[in-house]
Structure 1
Amino acid sequence: MYALSAIVGGAATALSGALVQFVVTPSVPDTMWSYPWAGDTFVLVCLVYAVFHALVLVGVLGFARSDVPGTSRAARSGGALAVAGTAALLVAELASIPFRSETLDAGGPAVVGALFGLGTLLTGVGFLMTGVTTLKAGVWQGWRRYVPLATGVWTTLLVGLAATTSLAVGVGVYGLCLLLLGVAMRSPAVTTTARIAA
């Protein structure tokens, strides 16, 4: 369940990033919080994105609860940060809806934007920590052992991409990282506890 949730959520996130970057034609100026969507469409998009984050959250929770990152304090703390950060992103999507008609410099969007930034940073730091402990734990071998660290590095870089025109591409790559995490969790080559198989 955890692995499948990460795969579906990651794939959906990757696809949405690609669509926004290469397909969607903006309906509002880039000074609007709802950019590139018009108000009603923005509400629907936020709800859909919240579902994506919920799926990813389940996957991240499964990874954090497994033996893959190890059982050290750093592993537990990193897992908790990644879960908290992903949850913050989910909340930020829903919190965006009331401000769909406001500009980026308004108070509400500024607060929600900060929440997005905090969630991304917490997720990145959490995956950096569990990425290092995963390498030390040795439960995963081959390419799988590098996925959590790569996810952490990219998610941390995503904080810097937030104010650029490359944000959608960055989100797409973030989705691919989560997709790979799910594939790694699902692999029969992974040694896990009963909790991850639940």
Structure 2
Amino acid sequence: MTLQNEHRLSTIRTAGLLCFWTAVLGAASGVFLAFIEPVVPESQWSYPLDVGAFTVIQVWFAVQHLGLLLGLMALRWTGALGLGTPGRIAQIVAVACMAAFAAAELAAIAAAADSQESALAGLLGVAYGIISVVLGAALIVAGMAVLRARVWKGWRRLIPLALGLWVFVPMLPALALSFTGARFAIAGWMLLFAALGWALVRPSAAPERVQAGSGQPSRSRHPSWPNPAP
């Protein structure tokens, strides 16, 4: 393995590790919010937290989304999207949406003490909804590209598509119907991102190659990703 490939593999694994742990902690955060005793009325934007705790957790959510963003970036670096233009564009859109999510989490702090019916809360709700729909659609397109490319094998090749489908069912309906249900739906989505991170950290073994002159297959000692398209 060349030094360049070693560096690329190390970068992908680092991004995958950050994606994995931020996703796991994000899932735990969702479960925490589902069970914590509310300290403010349900009509307040920061529900179930007070303004101070809400501010802290929103900053954490912004940082956490950056970890997920790294996982989406690394998906392209693996070459798993193949050479098709739609998948590559969809991945760029997904990364942009995740960055927008991080910004929205910080912007939501400004409405912490507001009513759910305030103009700012309404604007934030619309922003979250639009970002979610565009991100879900982008992940579905990217997921289809991964399936067609066949670079990833087994369960790995299903993860990007599952991430996109989960946005539309069950996450968006849960967000519209129930605070607690929404927290669990988001936690499930985070676990899918954890699976993406794990796929990046632990790539499948390199394909077999025939040793010159022996006629016997050999397998590289180091699993690696194929060279991504430029």
**Inter-partner Cα distance in structure 2 for 1:141 and 1:124:** 22
Q: Percent identity at matched positions?
A: 27
**Cα offset for 1:92?**
0.8
Match of 2:87 among 60, 66, 75: 75
- Is 1:172 aligned to residue 190 of structure 2? no
**Inter-partner Cα distance in structure 2 for 1:73 and 1:127:** 14
User: SS of the counterpart of 2:177?
Assistant: coil
Q: CA RMSD in A?
A: 1.5
Which of the pair has the greater relative contact order for Cα pairs under 8 Å at 6+ separation?
1
**Cα offset for 1:194?**
6.1
Larger fraction in helix: 1
Q: For this pair of structures, how many residues does the alignment match?
A: 194
**Inter-partner Cα distance in structure 1 for 2:103 and 2:154:** 35
Match of 1:52 among 53, 64, 72: 64
**Inter-partner Cα distance in structure 1 for 2:135 and 2:78:** 17
- Is 1:2 aligned to residue 2 of structure 2? no
- Once the two structures are superposed, residues 129-163 of structure 1 have per-residue CA deviations (whole angstroms, 9 ceiling, x without a partner) of 11111010001111111111111100233222222
Aligned to 1:106: 118
TM-score, scaled relative to structure 2: 0.80
- Does the Cα contact within 8 Å between 2:79 and 2:227 map onto a contact in 1? no
- Give the unaligned 5+ runs of structure 1: none
- Does the Cα contact within 8 Å between 1:87 and 1:119 map onto a contact in 2? no
Match of 1:140 among 145, 152, 158: 152
- Once the two structures are superposed, residues 26-79 of structure 1 have per-residue CA deviations (whole angstroms, 9 ceiling, x without a partner) of 111111111111111111111111111111111111113431121211111210
- Does the Cα contact within 8 Å between 1:88 and 1:115 map onto a contact in 2? no
Aligned to 2:25: 12
**2:195 counterpart letter in structure 1:** L
- Is 1:88 aligned to residue 100 of structure 2? yes
**1:182 counterpart letter in structure 2:** G
Aligned to 1:26: 38
Instruction: Kindly report structure 1 stretches of 4+ aligned residues shifted beyond 2 Å.
Output: 190-195
Distance 1:42 1:53, change over 3 A: same
- Does the Cα contact within 8 Å between 2:31 and 2:184 map onto a contact in 1? yes
TM-score, scaled relative to structure 1: 0.92
Match of 1:130 among 117, 142, 160: 142
- Once the two structures are superposed, residues 159-186 of structure 1 have per-residue CA deviations (whole angstroms, 9 ceiling, x without a partner) of 2222222110011001001000011112
- Does the Cα contact within 8 Å between 2:203 and 2:225 map onto a contact in 1? no
- Give the unaligned 5+ runs of structure 2: 1-13, 206-223
